[in-house]
Amino acid sequence: MLTLVLAESEVELMPDELSRHPAVIAHARQRRKQPLQILLDSNYHHAAMTHLPEGRRRGRPDIVHLFLLTALESIVNKQSQLNILIHTRHDQVITVDPKTRIMRNYERFLGLLEQLFENRVLPDKKQPFLSLRENVSLKQVIEEQHADLVAVLSIDGTPVVLPQYFTQLKKQNKHHLLCVIGGFPSGEFHADMNTIANEVISLYPDMIPAWTVASEILVNYGNMCR
């Protein structure tokens, strides 16, 4: 089993201090919603985010969108070997049912997440394809999975070649691997990963997007399982 955790993802509802900015008000009006009901998104609200703490890092639900499209459509997921969790900067965690089909249209995806933040579960508690919990630290998210090995993907980690890396894990009888991928555009994790993970590894000496990291892991993990 493979678990992918998109950690410290930059997806959040509009901060109160930005809700009265003209750009935010105009976008909310266009969406027919109140400013505090829409997601912070640097594509639309960059003018309002100039003085927001860590403003260059925040407002990136597009990363979550592309990550989910990559993971849910993977062969590993279609073979029922994948768990997917989204952890946010505010210690919320979104559990994603493997059968979920995420819309490719980004605007519709934003609406879906906004609805999830409002209702906490979609479509309902009897059939929760997406569910959201509050006040769950990254450490808690990882500990709940009881994985045999936790690996964090970081540019500062130990360089590995994934086919060889997965072959070694298979020889060591590591049946449940959990990989932590940053859900932010650049920079470092806020959490101390050395206290959370068994290993910190690197796939490439330069920054690569979260969905590319996920794709590399999924393909190589799938090859190992064949």
pTM above 0.85, yes or no: yes
Evaluate whether 32 touches 12 at the Cβ level (below 8 Å).
no
Q: Give the relative orientation of helices 210-225 and 61-72 as an angle to the nearest 10 degrees.
A: 20
101: left (phi over 0), alpha (psi -120 to 50) or beta: beta
Question: Containing H/E element for 112?
Answer: helix 106-119
Q: Which residues of the chain have pLDDT under 50?
A: none
The candidate with the shortest Cα–Cα distance to 7, out of 214, 226, 220, is 214
pLDDT in tens, 92-147: 999 999 999 999 999 999 999 999 999 999 987 788 999 999 999 999 999 999 99
What gap in Å lies between CA 212 and CA 166, rounded to an integer?
A: 17
* pLDDT given for residue 112 in this prediction: 96
CATH 3.30.70.100, domain 2-9+59-225, yes or no: no
Angle at 103 between CA 98 and CA 108, to 5 degrees: 130
Domain residue spans in the chain? 2-9+59-225
* pLDDT given for residue 123 in this prediction: 87
* pLDDT given for residue 73 in this prediction: 96
* pLDDT given for residue 204 in this prediction: 94
